[in-house]
A and B are shown apart, each in its own frame.
Chain A
Amino acid sequence: MDTIIILYTGAFGLIFIGIAGIVLSRHLVRIIFAIGLLEAGANLLLLLATWRDGASAPIIVGGRVPALMADPVPQALVLTAIVIGVGILALALSLALRVQHAWGTLDMRAIRLRLEEEIDDAAGIEPPTSADAPAPRPTAPATREGGA
């Protein structure tokens, strides 16, 4: 019972670090790594879902069937989830590379402001005067918070 509490603490801890990293970081690469941590936490949670102490791998070697086998389903699911994560990571890094080439920054706040400007420019809207603030945007915590 104690082991499982430690394992769960690890999973929830990774999720905590991941979310905190996504929300509080400003550097793009850190945010991308934080997403990886969050995914790792979710994967660990999935593996722990039907974890049983002392169960052996669900593989038959030499015709011997183990008495207590681990649940093969989460293992297959996590394999899938990891591969998905890799694909998205590669795409995120490609996008980051292009943005860095074009705008020379990886700072999320700078990117957001620049993006806003470019959209206004492309639409042919003059920058708002100080009396008339830009249109209100429903901001998620993921983008509003700045910090280290």
Chain B
Amino acid sequence: MNELVLMVALPLLTAFLLPVIDRLSSLAARWIGPLVLLLTAIIGLSAWSQTGSGAITIELGNFRPPLGIDLYVDQLALLFALAVTLGTLLLWPAEGEQRLRQSTLALLLAGSGSGLALSGDLFNIYVLYELIAVVSYGLAASRGTAAGQAATLRYLIVSAFGAALALAGIALVYQATGTLNLAQLAQLAPTQLNNGQGLAAFVLMLVGFGVKAELFPVNTWVPEVYATAPARVAGLLAGVVSKLALLIIVRLLILLFPQPEALTVMLVLGILGVLTGELAAWRARDFNRMLAFSSIGQLGIMFIAFSIPGKAGVFAGLAVALHHLVVKPALFLLAQRWGGSLEHLAGVAKGSPLAAALFILLALSLIGVPPLPGFWAKLLVMIHLLEQQSSLYALGAWIIMAGAALEANYLFRVASSFYRREAAATPPAAHRTGDLAGASLLGAALAAAVFLIVPLADRIEAMAGQAADRDHYIQTVNPEPLP
């Protein structure tokens, strides 16, 4: 199983060597990045079946945890490592004259994202999170416009602020326990972190890691960056990177913070996220910012879902997250040509019927119209929310309903304008084949999921059960007992 570390190491190695390779042959430099990602995806896929029965740990440097850093590979972690690798491959962001630097950053994104999904050490998670943050700054500014750079700068300030808070939270955890290994922290948490200091540490880390998960008060950067960055980069950030940050928060919540107040904080922030996101999306007048705000709303739903205690919450949240992981990148691929005012999109269905149909399929699923997967995901969240017999959770359920109504309103408004008789004065250019093929692939996956919904749900439930099982985590890593 040691070879799984190659999912992290190979992309980084290639990124380091890319300028050197480019000097030897620019053709090789163009193709080696995607090829390496394909290779690492195969490595990840070949380990997939082995993780079904139980998780695995990789002890880096051959040091037993908790002294060394370990990677924890369960199906959830491996799925996200694969998602970031394949997502980067699908949305390969290199184009134009800065192609070399963009390829380097894309490779770094895949490597660090895989590492983030697999890491089993609190400080290592912080370092990887910072790495993926720096990569995303570079990608977000890669268009080279002043607006893009200003948006990135504002993003950087929020993100650096959050990361420093997360570091302070890690310091509080370390002060209370003296260890950073997640498994050992899970052992010590019921006695040493189940107090005010633990809650403070959780809130600090929630805000810190929440920046990339588009959590309510620290998501000001989202509309600005998604409107100014290349659409493929926006798709990567909204689709994949935000889910990675969410995965970290959920892992920490399950393993480290048993107190119920932690769940309440997440629930309230999630509700506020849905409210603000969907309202702003409803008022947005251009395609990119509409998608950006809708993504804030969707992540709010995920935060609400994950705040349901126990396995049910992980299952429901995961369903919404995986759905969004497929839908949002596809929408941003369409935005590659359709970015700009919504009014310019009037009558585009005549010129590009496939793209219009794809948009409608994705939008319907996003709203949650049966029998599309988005419906089942939202239904799952609603059922488990109403099961909780608590007014705050019930409020969450109603807010999600209201959000869906808003979503339906603005997405239908856009979709119906596609079929308006009189076309806009300056219709957008036709989609490039690559963009349309990627979006179609994701749309086809979504459509196929309609027929596979039962086995898929079983798989996701098993995955959620594995991820929500603290004892399984502790036993798998089996940290050496220390005095």
A residues apposed to B, CB below 8 Å: 15, 18-19, 22, 28, 31-32, 35, 38-39, 41-43, 45-46, 48-50, 71, 73-74, 77, 80-81, 84, 87-88, 91-92, 95-96, 98-99, 102-103, 108, 111-112, 114-115, 118-120, 122-125, 135-143
Contacts and interface: CB of A to CB of B under 8 A. Distances in A.
A83 B340 CA distance: 39
Contacts of A38: 161, 164-165
A80 B127 contact: yes
Contact of A99 (B153, B180, B279, B343): B153
A70 to B, nearest CB: 13
Given A95-B153, A138-B219, A118 B175 contact: no
Contact of B168 (A42, A98, A120, A143): A42
B141 interface: yes
A119 B160 contact: no
B174 A49 contact: yes
B228 interface: yes
A115 B150 CA distance: 7
Interface string B277-300: 101100111111100000010000
A115 B224 contact: yes
Given A42-B168, A103-B146, A142 B156 contact: no
B168 A45 contact: yes
A103 B151 CA distance: 13
Contacts of A141: 217
Contacts of A125: 285-286, 341
B220 A49 contact: no
Contacts of B158: 140, 142-143
Interface string B414-452: 000000000000100000000000000000000000000
From B130, B150, B178, B340, residue with most partner A Cβ within 10 Å: B150
The 6 A-B residue pairs whose C-beta atoms are closest, nearest first, are A102-B146, A123-B286, A49-B175, A138-B276, A45-B171, A118-B147
Contacts of A91: 134, 137-138, 156
Contacts, number: 166
Given A42-B165, A125-B341, 14 more contacts: A32-B157, A35-B157, A81-B167, A95-B152, A115-B147, A120-B286, A123-B227, A124-B286, A125-B285, A136-B279, A137-B280, A138-B276, A140-B158, A143-B220
Contacts of A96: 153
A144 B172 CA distance: 29
B-side interface mostly: helix
Interface of A is mostly: helix
Contacts of B258: none
A119 B228 contact: yes
Contacts of A111: 150, 153-154
Given A95-B149, A99-B146, A35 B164 contact: yes
Interface string B252-279: 0000000000000000000010001101
18 contacts: A18-B164, A28-B153, A42-B171, A49-B174, A74-B174, A88-B160, A92-B153, A95-B141, A95-B156, A98-B146, A108-B154, A111-B154, A115-B224, A118-B147, A118-B228, A119-B147, A119-B289, A123-B339
B283 to A, nearest CB: 4
Contacts of A50: 174-175, 178
B123 interface: yes
Contacts of A88: 130, 133-134, 156, 160
B359 interface: no
Contacts of B219: 138, 140
A47 to B, nearest CB: 8
